[in-house]
Amino acid sequence: MSQTPPERDDADAWLPEVQPDSYGISAELVRAVAEALDEGDQAAARRLADDLHEADLADLLEHLDREERAQFVKAFGAAFDLEVLTYLDVSVREEVIEALEPQHIALSLSDLDSDDAVDIIEDLDEEAQQRVLAALPRAERLVLEESLSFPEDSAGRIMQRELLAVPSNWTVGETIDYMRAAKDLPDDFYDLYIVDPRHQPIGYVPLSRAMRTRRPVKLTEIMNDDMKTVPVAMDQEEVAYLFRQYGLVSAPVVDDAGRLVGVVTVDDVVHIIDEEAEEDLLKLAGVQETDLYSAVLDTTKARFGWLLINLFTAVAASLVIAQFENTLERIVALAVLMPIVASMGGNAGTQTLTVAVRAIAMRDLSTRNALRFVGKEIIVGLTNGLIFAVLAGMMAWMWFDAPMIGVIIAAAMVINLVVAALSGALVPLGLEKIGVDPAVASSVVLTTLTDVIGFFAFLGLATLFLL
């Protein structure tokens, strides 16, 4: 039963209780905000969300419908924090930006770090991008346009322009005095970058080390010179691997001439790792990140192509079955048992495929250890095949009181599980070798192979030994 909120002169009284150790937003809060918006009380809706973190406010916006989002954004007016947009799904972000005044966007973007500003506008359509950029001061617009000119998903897109770079002849004291006086430093940073006269980074000093060192000491005496630099065109997956492999907190980004142009920080890399993992998972099923919030027609179009491909693969499996039409007519039990073989092969292949795709993405699987991985999966497939061959064979024998049918399904089970394991390992490795994303195409190829081999083995053996 829904609870009717009290009079608006005591709106805070019906604010949903949130435990001190809880995180995120509650269903009660979403319901309360929606009720306030439905009653036209935007001020109450704002009071309910005033103390939320930007990430939680983004979650709240995603839980509201399109009309409620527009009202909610208007309730905040010029106080709406654009950092919320960096946490929003792309399709929802566009809706929210449409509800904001271009002048407000321009003023607020100036307060954000450059990487957050790029993150907000890079996924907008061309018209929305131009509308936002046109409202910015020329200097800031040029910086953002340069960042947008870098390849999508590259280090140039995710880097932050604000950083601390100091000459190699400075001391710790000079650097501290500079940090205290400068007004254009980033709000948060972890490392100080030491540059030569050509503005090329030669080392870095963790901020904590600089704070613990006496003022007269030269920065070059305490700097780390085994620095990992990131080319501006490096793919963001490569950047994420670099951070994960070497435990980095930040890394300098350099242009083609080796000059320092920006920095990538670990908070951005966390988003990249999450985004890439989610993208690979969704690709395996042929869906997109924006499916949850997209319109019905857009989602239908996005899924149609994948389903069309699956239709053709299913036809290929059906053509194999059609070759054994006479066998199926004479032994009806085969039609009953046939899906068992195909299903077991598909599931076994998907298990191997999932492990392989993840290992390739994490760079744990390559041509160096591929043979060992394939050999292991074949042994696993054979072992499981023998176990389930006994189970399925005995079941078929007792079900149809036909020992030979049990033997045939047992043999087909072994063949299909071995082929499934081999396919699940080799298909993603082969696709990766020819430059095709294994997460996109592997499942289609695997399903076709396991279905075709499974049906062919089962029906072929039945034709050979029962007719």
pLDDT at 219 over 80: yes
**What is the amino acid identity at position 100?**
L
**Quick one: which of 405, 358, 414 has its CA closest to 385?**
414
pLDDT at 291 over 60: no
Domain stops at, among 228, 249, 266: 266
| HSE, side-chain direction, 13 A CA sphere, residue 219 | 29
Strand order in the sheet with 260-265: 230-231, 250-254, 260-265
Return the pLDDT at 286.
60
Q: Long-range CB contacts (< 8 A, 24+ apart) of 76-85? A: 76/46, 78/104, 80/104, 80/108, 81/54, 81/57, 81/108, 82/108, 82/109, 82/111, 82/112, 82/116, 82/120, 83/54, 83/112, 83/116, 84/54, 84/57, 84/58, 85/58, 85/120
pLDDT at 32 over 50: yes
Angle at 432 between CA 444 and CA 90, to 5 degrees: 70
Section 26-45 average pLDDT = 89
Q: Are residues 253 and 394 in the same domain?
A: no
Q: Are residues 37 and 185 in the same domain?
A: no
User: Where do we find the tokens 């009653």?
Assistant: 39
DSSP reduced 3-state for 234: coil
Return the pLDDT at 3.
42
Query: Between 455 and 438, whose confidence is greater?
Result: 455
Burial of 386 (0-12, 13-18, 19+ CB in 10 A): middle
Rounded Cα gap, residues 434 and 412, in angstroms: 31
Q: Are residues 340 and 312 in the same domain?
A: yes
Query: Between 209 and 109, whose confidence is greater?
Result: 209
Partners of 224 in beta bridges: 204
Return the pLDDT at 410.
94
Q: Are 155 and 253 in contact (CB under 8 A)?
A: yes
Q: How far separated are the first and last CA of the chain, in Å rounded?
A: 66
Return the pLDDT at 293.
60
Q: Are residues 315 and 395 in the same domain?
A: yes
% of the chain with per-residue pLDDT over 70? 90
Q: Model confidence at 4, in pLDDT bands (50, 70, 90)?
A: very low
Domain stops at, among 251, 266, 281: 266
Q: Are residues 261 and 310 in the same domain?
A: no
Return the pLDDT at 22.
55
**Quick one: which of 219, 200, 195, 201 has its CA closest to 209?**
219
Q: Is 289 a member of any domain?
A: no
pLDDT at 17 over 70: no
pLDDT tens figures, 37-67: 988 888 888 888 888 898 899 999 989 988 8
Q: Are residues 129 and 199 in the same domain?
A: no
Return the pLDDT at 214.
95
Query: Between 12 and 408, whose confidence is greater?
Result: 408
Q: Is 401 a member of any domain?
A: yes
Q: Model confidence at 107, in pLDDT bands (50, 70, 90)?
A: confident
**Quick one: which of 89, 5, 66, 77 has its CA closest to 39?**
5
pLDDT tens figures, 364-402: 887 788 899 999 999 999 999 999 999 999 999 999 888
Number of domains in the chain: 3
Q: Are residues 261 and 312 in the same domain?
A: no
Q: Are residues 108 and 178 in the same domain?
A: no
Q: Are residues 145 and 180 in the same domain?
A: no
Q: Are residues 303 and 423 in the same domain?
A: yes
Return the pLDDT at 7.
46
Q: Is 365 a member of any domain?
A: yes
- Residue-number span of the structural domain to which 209 is assigned: 165-266
Q: Under 8 Å CB-to-CB from 448, ≥6 apart: which residues?
A: 313, 316, 317
Q: How many residues does the chain have?
A: 467
Q: Are residues 74 and 172 in the same domain?
A: no
- Domain CATH for 407: 1.10.357.20
Q: Is 156 a member of any domain?
A: no
Q: Is 287 a member of any domain?
A: no
pLDDT tens figures, 313-340: 788 888 888 888 888 877 888 888 888 8
pLDDT at 275 over 80: no
Return the pLDDT at 409.
92
Return the pLDDT at 254.
96
Q: Model confidence at 283, in pLDDT bands (50, 70, 90)?
A: low
Q: Which of 184-188, 410-414, 441-445 has the highest mean pLDDT?
A: 410-414
**Quick one: which of 271, 269, 299, 273 has its CA closest to 285?**
299
Q: Is 276 a member of any domain?
A: no
Return the pLDDT at 201.
95
Query: Between 238 and 288, whose confidence is greater?
Result: 238
CB atoms closer than 10 angstroms to residue 241: 19
Return the pLDDT at 1.
37
Return the pLDDT at 197.
93
Q: Are 349 and 423 in contact (CB under 8 A)?
A: yes
Q: Is 160 a member of any domain?
A: no
Domain stops at, among 99, 121, 150: 150
- Domain CATH for 31: 1.25.60.10
Strand order in the sheet with 201-206: 165-167, 191-195, 201-206
Return the pLDDT at 363.
77
Return the pLDDT at 166.
94
Q: Is 158 a member of any domain?
A: no
Q: Are residues 202 and 60 in the same domain?
A: no
DSSP reduced 3-state for 192: strand
CB atoms closer than 10 angstroms to residue 397: 17
